[in-house]
Structure 1
């Protein structure tokens, strides 16, 4: 698929891809080496809402595929009964699109999916970029228990009111100027249009099922040779930057960039530098 950068919109890049087990929403633009951009968790999240500004910039040089994972947006539901094997979903998507190998850029949960791919299917991953993600472990600097952002994510899944969506986008950003009413309304519309995604996420979390392979991938990254760029906001109130310090210590071929005055969405709050850094990393490592 070829899209001129100036014509990149949600509708011009949107399509549904049928895989062996799923129907998956993507927004695709650009030519060149493929780059999969994978969103984080949270009600109303989609590949487009997480990466709109990045697709517009990176599509000038790469084939950008913003993925909306099963359990979000117009993609198939995932429940306790079906399980949440996001690595299998991504692998099937690559197969359906005829893509053998790609770079992965993942925010939060998306970074964990990238680590699953890097450890379980390393032959299919050229580069890994994580932001607001990292490797979980015993906290040294961060407080224990749920972070402020995680609590608001749960609150919004349980009570998807416009007020809670506004709180959600605000807690993700350091600068409130980025937590726009338009972004909150976009997330709200997407979430309430698929109430089964809200119910399923809560059921999965309450059942303690989690996503397949996330914890194991963090441990296995110590043996990974995938070039990895780790990005984190120093002021992240959802996932503490300690997780990225740990990832940098564990992953052999890694480099770490930490933004000051930045929350959970570095790709939004520092889009220009983020895009330039990712482009340089993909082209020179």
Structure 2
């Protein structure tokens, strides 16, 4: 997710990101989670390598698994439109460590990847899963697809940032890691900042692995995305050379959060292609 330079955050998208972080910590998400059962959504805890997190599950247990990874800041609740209309799918939305109600620790790429890998292995025991990643969650989904081809049916990348060349870190982000400014930022925003600083290095390491991905890939992006440059789509076309199929679902308008406003179109496209 780019935060400076030619592809800086638009003020509107930056404001949305701030309020997402605020919602995680102000109790609003807790209230929403208390009413999950009324909507047919189950919340479960999962533990791997001493790391605990939560997942939200909806849809038939025998349905095609859709494993969803949110961006930063965010939570599994960002996939609410998918969860409330699962259809034929079993929707599993993951609260990544650092953004889970049971785990607010500072995100750690190695530790966090191990629990996401364990969740994938668990949900894909009877059939391969379709991985869906939004924004930074797209990089994690791509890493899983490269490492576990036997568990992954397809990869869907929504507003995903995969090109390390488009990632730039502002000096203020380094300053925000330290007191006193650190003490003035809510916890989800602090965790998000930590992730954003580490993310370019993660993408550099991921770069040679992208060509290993053989499963079908669907790239979903809006031209007016104010957080992740649209140029990521052409980057993906070049790098996913080994993918069986590379499809695109592109929108002129919709901004960064297409999984919230274009969920029906995305699910329809997933159904048609996969």
Please say whether Structure 1 and Structure 2 have the same fold, judged by a TM-score greater than 0.5: yes
How does 1:123-272 map onto structure 2 within 5 Å?
123-138=150-165, 145=168, 195=187, 197-203=188-194, 208-210=197-199, 213-252=202-241, 253=243, 254-272=246-264
What SS does structure 2 have at the residue aligned with 1:52?
Answer: helix
How far the C-alpha of 1:15 sits from its partner, in A, is: 2.0
Does structure 1 retain, via aligned residues, the 8 Å contact 2:138–2:158? Answer: yes
Query: Is 2:54 the counterpart of 1:25?
Result: yes
Q: How many residues align?
A: 227
Provide the rounded CA distance (Å) in 2 between the counterparts of 1:51 and 1:251. Answer: 26
Q: Which runs of 5+ in 2 are unaligned?
A: 1-35
How does 1:28-67 map onto structure 2 within 5 Å?
28-31=57-60, 32-42=63-73, 45-48=74-77, 50-57=78-85, 59-67=86-94
What SS does structure 2 have at the residue aligned with 1:264?
Answer: coil
Does structure 2 retain, via aligned residues, the 8 Å contact 1:69–1:75? Answer: no
**Partner residue, 1:174:** none
Match of 1:87 among 107, 110, 113: 113
How far the C-alpha of 1:200 sits from its partner, in A, is: 4.3
How far the C-alpha of 1:212 sits from its partner, in A, is: 8.0
What SS does structure 2 have at the residue aligned with 1:221?
Answer: helix
What SS does structure 1 have at the residue aligned with 2:215?
Answer: coil
What SS does structure 2 have at the residue aligned with 1:239?
Answer: coil
What SS does structure 1 have at the residue aligned with 2:49?
Answer: coil
Does structure 1 retain, via aligned residues, the 8 Å contact 2:82–2:91? Answer: no
Provide the rounded CA distance (Å) in 2 between the counterparts of 1:230 and 1:204. Answer: 22
Q: 1:211 to 1:25 in 2, by over 3 A?
A: farther
TM-score w.r.t. structure 2 length?
A: 0.70
Q: 1:133 to 1:78 in 2, by over 3 A?
A: same
Q: 1:230 to 1:75 in 2, by over 3 A?
A: farther
What SS does structure 2 have at the residue aligned with 1:225?
Answer: coil
TM-score w.r.t. structure 1 length?
A: 0.68
Does structure 2 retain, via aligned residues, the 8 Å contact 1:119–1:217? Answer: no
Deviations 1:152-188 (A, max 9, x none): xx89x8855xxxxxxxxxxxxxxxxxxxxxxxxxxxx
Deviations 1:62-87 (A, max 9, x none): 1110001111122424437x554433
Match of 2:135 among 88, 105, 108: 108
Displaced runs of 4 or more, over 3 A: 7-12, 77-80, 82-86, 94-101, 144-147, 157-160, 197-205, 208-214
